[in-house]
Structure 1
Amino acid sequence: MAKLIIAVSFIFSIAFSYWMGTKSTTKTDSPKASQDAKKNNSFEGINSPVAAINPSIPVDNTIHNGKPEVKASESVNPANLIKSEELQKLKDTLSKVKKERSIANRRYDDIRSKLIEAGLVEPEYLSLEEVEKTLPAPFSSIVAEGGEYMVNLFKTLEEEDIDYDWGADMQTKLSDFIITHQFSDGISHLSVRCKTTMCEIRGFDTIEGSWNKIQKELVSEDWWQFESSSSVHSNDDKGNGFFYLLLQK
């Protein structure tokens, strides 16, 4: 009987010890399980705050340094796109109108020249005083005495607005070509200005023949866009050579 009691007590103690060990293990694992649960919960429904603000924004759930990173894709504003297209159309239209105006001006000059030759129209002139308001001597005398074609070109140049795209670019090309030319040492007091369809080049030819050599190569450049021009190469009262050009594309 005593042996039976001892055996039962031994079995009971083993069962009790096993039960206590299981309970202890559960308590030890619970903090980790809690942390894992928190982590899992932190990623569950991560789309919901963004979706609540703007459902159309895609979400990137990539983990960076233990934290989820939400990225919104960039979008193009349709209004800005339309505005850009409209501005480009206006720019293209302006370029087309400028070209048509240039052609019309040349046509006008041709017809007027024929009418002047026939004695049906009086030629237009500018007095030396009028020209000298914007053009210094000795170049002013060239325009004043150059006839209607020179006068009309000069008037067009003075009345034109400045095209800060084409004008600035062409002015730089002309100036750079002349200044860097091998015969540029024979040129002094160079002045170049360009506007919308026209350019003016003037200066002094200090070494005889320098400008003629430069001009011959200048008109052969692939960026040369001028279809009509008026050029004079002469000497002032002191015998100094000078040149004056009006160019129209």
Structure 2
Amino acid sequence: MLAIRVIWSFCLIVFLLLGSGNATAGELSERLANFPQWEKLNSVKPAVGDLGYPNWMAGSWRVTSTLVDLVAPLAPNIVTPGFAANRRQLNQPVSFLVRFIEGKPSASNLKILPGIDKKLPILVADRVFNSLNLARAYLGDEAVLSVKVDPDSPNRQITLLRGERQLVSIVTARATETTPDAQFITTEVFQQLFKGGATPYFNSVESTTAYRQLATSQPRIEADQVTAVYLSPQDPDYFAADSRPVALYRYRLEFIPAQ
């Protein structure tokens, strides 16, 4: 059961890993509006380099994440392990700290944000801090030993768990979109490999998130996120799924400044 909880919980991590690559105008916002009628997204581009965030996300935040809906589109024929158990998380808020810090712009950032000064820092996620806090919020301090990010690629991350288990997450593709009402929408696709059980477990995950800065007396951000789980080619039901998601999870995210 721990393996299943880890795989599901880490679907959330991608909302802290924003990306470059522009989607067709309106495609991502339309995708969120069409939930749960989803097909596999094809307009994403390969993930290269580190990732820039809007300046209004700078600093440290306390995030409250609440699962508000979950759907198994191919049930009862295909249901992912742990889906039924995940219903216990419905409407149960989980809180943790995240922060966004200065980083160096990559070639992909410079291409997407014309006019950016190559010498100026950009805003990036503190990946180790964010992912470690997220993992421990869901799995407990004792279960999570550490988080490591590949020094040669911010898109590859390893989470070490007690009992010689580990989760390898690799962001492979992404897209972003800014809407006329100033929402910042992202999609990331990543591969997950859970090692340490009797057999390795693979899957593919896509997360689409719309962030919006609220006009209040103090800085606040809200976000709507949908995480879709797809079967890997190693799964015996892979061809039956026909590139459709086998599980969809919708979250409400609320950011307030950390004290």
TM-score (norm 2): 0.23
Higher relative CO (Cα under 8 Å, sequence separation at least 6) belongs to 2
Q: Which has the higher helix share?
A: 1
TM-score (norm 1): 0.24
Q: Which has the higher strand share?
A: 2
